[in-house]
Amino acid sequence: MQTLHGFTARLSSVVVAFASAGLMLCAGALPGCAKGDTAQTRWVPEGCRTVPVDHEILPSRVAFRNFHSDEASTDEISIAFAPVFREGWTADPEMFHATGPVFDSNGNLYLSPGLPHEPVALISLDPKDGERRFMIPNTTGAASGASTPMVLSGPANGEGEEPKEMIVLGLYDRAFAVDVDGTVVWDVPTGLTSDELHFVFGVNYAPAVDAVVGVADDGLVYALDRLTGQPAIEEPYQLPGENSPEGDPRGSELPLEVSICVALELGKLANLSDFEVSLLISFLNGNGVQVANHFSIDANTSNVWIAATAPDAEDGEVDGVSKFGALYKLEFVRRGDSYELEEACHASFEGGSSSTPAIRKDGSRVYTSNNAGRLIAIETADCSRVWDLDVGGVINGSIAVSSDNDELYVNTRGGIIQVFDRGDEGVVGWTSDMDAFDVPPDTVALNTTVPGIGANAISMQFGAGIPPNDFIKAGLAQLDRATGEVRYFAYGGETTTAVMNTGPDGSVYIGNSPFRRVITNCKAEYGLLPFGGAPIVGGVTKLEAERLDLLVRDAVCAAADRASNAGTHRSECPESASADMVQVGELIAQARWAGPQAIDDGDLSTQDWTAIEAELATAEQELDQGGLEGLIPASNALGRGCSMLARTLPEPTGT
């Protein structure tokens, strides 16, 4: 067996050779590697949208507040992504992040590293430089991390005071809540105990019972009172499935020497001393568990939706292993002074699923997938299957659900696929462009994770790799929602098993979880692949906004399009128009945040910004005074601002 001494040095020499083959060729006018441009998107909202629940505890949708953005796991935000970006800081590069950060309204990050060597459960970072604001230690000694915090608003403490935000983290044996300064609000045991390693991917919020809910990989579900952390159900609920098949004992049919290499390399980022690395790989592949991803709550009803394994007998054989997947609908039922969770229905399907169920904002449908490449739409009323669609490839992770145009976005290794829910069937739209850099010989462009939906674009991570799952290098891309074409691409961050976590500044923050790249590098080290990639990096990487004048343009133009559409349909669907008024206000606020900084950067003149800001003020006045009737005149003012920006902004230049 080869020695691992000099592993990094040899990989570095491979990277130099690989760069000369073309992977690092980022020529062109932009500071990234896009072959396209950053022109204004051709996508617009059409007709009535699905309306999110307006609840005082659920925060605004200007950033990721939960694993998949919100309680419904839509992976959608209400503001614009930065049209131009580049790799910024990386914080805590020695940590493994199976999930990504969430954000308070000031943009501060909150995250929980997976099995860290440092005894820490929660870390908060400053968005400007990645410096630590505070940390909450791991006090129980049980495995911590691989969980996502959830940010919740709260009622104001007094008249005229701003609501105070709360950050809740649910682990297997422990859950706690802190305020934005790190002061502990409550810290309690969850009621779950085990001598084995188990994870909770995060918590979610059920408005009807004012409770935070956690779901563990072994199918146990707990619910805690939001204000006190005390149990909201008498005892944890157990899902009725058994564990999924174990799969290959090493998770990916790795030779022993490669498994040892992977263990050593991953061990630099995560504390693997108490269990075999094969268990981590198996867990990340969804083997030997009941639940392999996050879950969702329909805020309209507080029903809990969990993708897990089906009851053992439903695969035709009672053998202690569940070969079928199932989507469960759980309801809170009052029992005296407390509640219990009860199954209302479930939908079974062949093949397991690591897909977080994603819910339409109106609560009418929930979407999941199986491991055979089928997108499945479920009626929430009775768990009946409405339609399923073969998208031509294995679906990785959850489905991103847009509030507009009945759009869904599906993640496969070959790219993002747009699907329209046409009521009784799913119809494929575009498949994403993956032509953002010169692909070297023996590699292709591979997509890594779930897309994010913004007011102006689709965000995704992809890079060069060797099919089917060996990644060499990754970066962030932004797609035009109308066509799937690449608007912009820049290398940065590690491959991730998380999502496109976006802050209120429009920047994307990658939770670095490079277990795929570790396997690739180790396979290359032992001759199973022709080359590997650069040494791995953990932590969190910020893909920070550049050219904030273009961010102003995209925010203002998106607000104009949304106000125009909402005004046209205000009589047909007033609730939809009211929701659009909220989003228009959020886009105006984003433009106001970015404008002065664009002036400081020298990308926008004070004269131009003064004229644009006057149109923003006019639009706000029309909405304040006219309500729904003010949408059309507001759209006219915003349209004038959009036209000014389209005329005056120069094309991006190289850096």
Kindly report, residue by residue over 245-274, the tens digit of the pLDDT. 776 444 457 888 998 898 889 999 988 754
Nearest to 77 by CA among 61, 98, 91, 97: 61
For domain 7-546, the CATH superfamily is YVTN repeat-like/Quinoprotein amine dehydrogenase (2.130.10.10)
Greatest mean pLDDT among 94-98, 146-150, 441-445, 561-565 lies in: 561-565
Q: What is the pTM of this model?
A: 0.92
Nearest to 111 by CA among 134, 88, 87: 134
* pLDDT tier at 12, thresholds 50, 70, 90: very low
pLDDT of residue 561: 98
pLDDT, averaged across the chain? 88
- In this structure, are residues 62 and 153 in contact, taking their beta carbons and an 8 Å threshold? no
User: DSSP code of 21?
Assistant: I
Q: Is the pLDDT of residue 289 over 70?
A: yes
* pLDDT tier at 473, thresholds 50, 70, 90: confident
- In this structure, are residues 446 and 465 in contact, taking their beta carbons and an 8 Å threshold? yes
For the record, the structure tokens of 406 come out as: 């009945």
Q: Between these two residues, 640 and 11, which has the higher pLDDT value?
A: 640
Angle at 193 between CA 188 and CA 196, to 5 degrees: 135
Residue 195: burial class (beta carbons within 10 Å; 0-12, 13-18, 19+):
exposed
pLDDT of residue 4: 36
Sign of CA dihedral 620, 624, 630, 633: negative
What DSSP letter does each residue of 197-240 carry, written as one string? Answer: ---EEEEEEEGGGTEEEEEETTSEEEEEETTT--BSBSS-EE-S
Residue 424: burial class (beta carbons within 10 Å; 0-12, 13-18, 19+):
exposed
| Long-range pairs of 152-157 with CB within 8 A, sequence gap ≥ 24 | 152/57, 152/58, 152/59, 152/65, 152/205, 152/212, 152/226, 153/56, 153/57, 153/58, 153/59, 154/56, 154/57, 155/56, 155/57
Nearest to 115 by CA among 249, 250, 283: 283
Q: Between these two residues, 555 and 156, which has the higher pLDDT value?
A: 555
- The domain limits of the chain are 7-546, 549-648
Q: What is the pLDDT of residues 563-590, one digit of tens each?
A: 999 999 999 999 999 999 999 999 999 9
Q: What mean pLDDT is predicted for residues 37-62?
A: 92
Least confident residue range of 45-54, 293-302, 313-322: 313-322
Report how far residue 547's alpha carbon sits from residue 146's, in angstroms, rounded to the nearest whole number. Answer: 34
